Amino acid sequence: GEPDVAAIVCARGGYGLSRYVHQLDLEPMVAQPRWLVGFSDVTALHVELAARGVASLHAGHVTAMGQGNAVFREQLVAALEDPRATRRYDGLEVLVRGRATGPLYGGNLTLLHACAAAGRLRPPSGAILLVEDVTELPYRIDRVLTTLLVGGHLDAFAAVAVGEFTGCGPTRDGVRVEEVIAERLVPLGIPIVAGLPVGHGRDNEPVVIGAPTTIDGDRLTLFG
């Protein structure tokens, strides 16, 4: 590895990592961890690093830096300079009220589903599941969540934090993705909050995958 490299910021998301992420030699990242920065398709890498006990940064890509979003650039710099700073999100929508603490895990829902299908989804017991997605119609979100539920892939989680589901409906018959998420996840009976500013929308605040995370009522705290 390169000793002077503190972070690896992915250029973009899209598609491709799931084709070969299982073939990557990630031992240098374990031996000398540095921050992997990305989201969307990069969720596949977050999953692999988490399985090896390496934290990573769920945040925007290099392409977002050039789109005039000064707030994003400031947030990313702040997150890289002090990734373990306490972050609190108050006033979130509560789908199931409760309290849970565990490491943050997850990212893009479609990619998590792909990782599960490939046998690569290995969350630590008691983790807080983070999910977000983009341009997936409610019936597709329903299919993904149902598959994860029936396959037992959500059994290990202690709580769920729902981020942004950008461009995900409603359908022509008025079905909203928020309804689908609630219908599928609320029966788990674990604390669930929604409205976290993480995902493909304008607000995609950096969060550390692996961060000690607490959900308590309508508040989510990282490194609290």
Q: Which of 132, 136, 164, 178 is catalytic?
A: 132
Q: List Cβ neighbours of 158 (8 Å cut-off, separation of 6 or more).
A: 100, 101, 102, 126, 127, 128, 190, 191
Q: Which of 40, 61, 153, 205 is catalytic?
A: 40
Active site residue 40: yes
Active site residue 18: no
Active site residue 58: no
CA distances for 86 relative to 6, 174, 213, angstroms: 21, 39, 10
Q: Which of 113, 136, 200, 205 is catalytic?
A: 200
CA 24 to chain centre: 21
Beta strands in the chain (DSSP E): 7-9, 35-38, 56-58, 87-89, 93-96, 99-108, 128-134, 159-166, 192-194, 207-209, 212-216, 219-222
**Looking at the chain, how many residues does it have?**
224
Active site residues: 40, 132, 200
